Amino acid sequence: MSKFRTKHLKKWDQKYIWHPFTQMKDWVKQEPLVIDSADGIYLKDIDGKIYMDGVSSLWVNVHGHRHPKIDAAIKKQIDKISHSTLLGLANTPSIELAKRLVEISPKGLAKVFYSDNGSTAVEIAIKMAYQYWQNTGHTKKTDIVHLNNSYHGDTLGSVSVGGIDLFHKVYRKLIFKTIPLKGCGWPAIDELEQLLKKKSDKIAALVVEPLVQGAAGMLLWPNGALKKMRSLTKKYNVLLIVDEVATGVGRTGKMFACEHEGVSPDFLCMAKGITGGYLPLAATLTTKKVFDGFLFDYKEYKTFFHGHTYTGNPLACAAALANLEIFQKERTLSRLAPKINYLAKKLKMFYNLPSVAEVRQRGFMVGIELKGKLEDRWGAKVCEQVREYGVILRPLGNVIVLMPPLSISTKEIDFLVQATYRSIENVCHSERSKES
């Protein structure tokens, strides 16, 4: 690409694009990194420099960029049809994918409702849970309970069950009231039990991120906590919604995080890696019991009045089918297990750094928490520094996130870990020297 074109692309970006989760006052002062192509787990910018994709292009890429099977599936589908609505019609790939998703999901999930991102997948589950109780005569059951430090997306419905003030505080006057659990870990479970004992007749659903609260900084739940939540919601007749947008599709070492504790929820929300990181697609799975709570005569107006223009898009569904076939044919999960163990051993070295407070890992979801204050921007500075070593990372405050594609090799894990280690060492040592 010519220098003239690269220069103008960077200027046009700063002139025309408003980037998500980005303080634009800072963005327009620096030269943007513009990605032009990719291959495997590597990205190439418009200047020709290559970077390792250390966060799977925001937690979505699974088998690497430009996987020949997914590429071919999309091209084949384009030759048939690129879009057809599911409002009053059906299409081939969405039917085949729905069948496949039910087959690989926890037992009891039987119906698939499509959308296009994680926020909508969760919002659909919340609306379905609420309306289920209204449809079936339990009209007092309207409250939604969620965890402390929760994150379920950015639409107002999903923000309503969000618990991260940095992201959600400004919208508090726009959203509906919910019941947040104030504690973390087992104290939160005790709090949930007491709440359900007193108010289960008014509670419609509990929304949780199973095992790992990703956007909160890769916070880990203790073993057995999810299973206990499931048993409590069953006991007190409350629907359980699990948000597997980040944890699903292999990130924790199993296809879904629920599988680690043998939990079958009433709703399972998935997105991100469902198409292997190719196209926007999400799915909300639920039980036949919930589905049957919407089967009424037309004149009763108890239909689920919700939908999206691109619901069940054939291109996205074709990509997702190819993605799941790769899991099976390449034995992705069984080959992932030793790499998870290898990564765990390598992560121990970060405790040699005085600036590291804690390292948290579940499968290929890793958070390295730094000791600096949020306003010090250590996380952002480390992720700027690591680009010098040819790695793309994005922090969560002062937590450095590692979430590479599942296809990464052990040699590439070494490179990723070493580059991150050196970047933390360089940035945090330099900042501490300034303070002293």
The number of C-alpha atoms within 13 Å of 48 and in the hemisphere containing its C-beta is 4
First-to-final CA distance of the chain: 46
C-alpha–C-alpha distance, residues 400 and 379, integer Å: 6
> Which residue matches tokens 């390295």?
368
Higher pLDDT, 23 or 372: 23
Mean pLDDT computed over 345-355? 97
C-alpha–C-alpha distance, residues 227 and 225, integer Å: 5
Q: How confident is the model at residue 256 (pLDDT cuts 50, 70, 90)?
A: very high
**Does 436 have pLDDT greater than 70?**
no
Q: How confident is the model at residue 152 (pLDDT cuts 50, 70, 90)?
A: very high
pLDDT recorded at residue 55: 98
Q: How confident is the model at residue 280 (pLDDT cuts 50, 70, 90)?
A: very high
C-alpha–C-alpha distance, residues 87 and 301, integer Å: 17
> What is the Cα 236 distance to its own chain's centre?
28
CA dihedral 205, 210, 211, 215 (to 10 degrees): -100
Mean pLDDT computed over 37-63? 98
Q: Say whether 237 sits in a helix, a strand or coil.
A: coil
Nearest to 184 by CA among 212, 154, 160: 212
C-alpha–C-alpha distance, residues 436 and 433, integer Å: 5
Q: Say whether 352 sits in a helix, a strand or coil.
A: helix
Is 15 within 8 Å of 7 (Cβ atoms)?
no
Mean pLDDT computed over 101-121? 98
pTM equals 0.96
Nearest to 379 by CA among 363, 388, 367, 391: 367
